[in-house]
A = this chain, B = another copy of it.
Amino acid sequence: MAKTSRRQALRLGAALGSGALAQGEEARLLGTPLGPYGERSRHVTSVRTMRQTRTPEAGSSATPLAETYGIITPSALHYERHHAGIPDIDPATHTLTIHGLVERPLVLTMAELRRLPSVSRIHFLECGGNSGGEWGAKTGPDVQRSYGLASCSEWTGVPLRLLLEEVGLKPKASWLIAEGADACRMQRSVPIVAALDDAMLAYGQNGEPLRPAQGFPLRLLTPGWEGNVQVKWLRRLHVTDQPYMTRDETSKYSDLMPDGKARLFSLPQEAKSVITFPSGGHTLDRPALLELTGLAWSGRGRIERVEITFDGGATWRDARLDEPRFRLAFTRFRLPYRWDAKPAAIASRATDETGYVQPTREQLIAARGANSGYHFNGIKFWRIAAGGQVTNADA
């Protein structure tokens, strides 16, 4: 049937059914056609938040954790932490060089990398500075602005181990200096240790090539470790016998302890969790049965348990964990919750497969002081007022 007559028939049918059509109604009858690329609904407006800054090339933007479902973070909403902006890299000319204490130095094109044996796994990525404001400085009013520098994706890439076998490590090889192709030539020293079993040179994220903000066309992925070491726009791996003590592993991403010394290379992100609903900025409009939910993760392995308190930590109940639970990935927890319009102080407490239990903020400060802006993983409280307003208890 030709387009015109089909449309006429539709008009006639509709007119017979429910009276004359208002102008423009035909368009509403037939929806939008098929398309090459399916964007979001205009009613969906979640975005990453950024602090006001005069240097938007060096800063961070946060994932709207309270508006995400499940454990996958939409790639467009994955958190950012850049030190010199996002380079625009042509994958046809980008290369990775592996050299230094190796038998056979190697330069690989992206086409060569993509042809190698690969793996795909779901892993979280978290900035070492995520929730750093909770140490006592300025934290955010909601879960996005206080905990949003953490995201989770399905990553695809070449196992790092395979390439290290290919180049042949010399006896003294014990560190990799990973270097990015961004304007600051981000450099981080990466110890060659057992944890590298999980490491990959990632070119895929959630089924497609990495987004530019996550390192297109190639990033180092060392699952479970702080984000900064997982160098984006990766161009070089220099194999050495010692770390380089670069700017971003000394002046940044290290923890100044009470005795004046600094913790360096505290790479694995310890077990952590946060309730995303209800959380800061939400308002519970009336007493009702709700589903409390949130996310837990650990840089040491699988999440084994998440407990919830409604009374400021006096009593705890086990939350239900979504299955399957992946190593080094977000685990979604859920618990039915009847809010009775009384004030409450709610928090989650995660335990990982090593038996490590997420500490209180007070325990963390007793052990490490409060000089650091990094590696905060204390138990996180939200306060619910009698009127239903939810706020950050530590703001």
Contact = CB atoms under 8 A, between A and B. Distances in A.
Interface of A: 2-3, 6, 28-44, 46-50, 54-57, 59-61, 67-78, 80, 82, 84-92, 115-120, 154-156, 182-183, 203-204, 206-209, 211-214, 216-217, 288-291, 293, 322, 324, 326, 332, 334, 336
A54 B5 CA distance: 12
The 9 closest A-B pairs by CB, nearest first: A31-B85, A70-B120, A69-B204, A33-B56, A36-B47, A69-B156, A32-B86, A31-B86, A38-B213
Contacts of A289: 115
Nearest to A73: B207
Which among A32, A49, A78 has the greatest number of chain B C-beta atoms within 10 A? A32
A204 B70 contact: yes
A208 B40 contact: yes
Contacts of A91: 41, 43
A69 B207 contact: yes
A142 to B, nearest CB: 16
A70 B154 contact: yes
Contacts of A46: 208
Contact of A57 (B31, B208, B213): B31
Nearest to A38: B213
Which among A34, A61, A67 has the greatest number of chain B C-beta atoms within 10 A? A34
5 contacts: A31-B84, A31-B87, A34-B50, A70-B206, A72-B154
Nearest to A293: B118
A57 B210 CA distance: 31
B3 A54 contact: yes
B68 A208 contact: yes
Nearest to A67: B208
A56 B44 contact: no
Contacts of A49: 36
A145 to B, nearest CB: 13
B38 A212 contact: yes
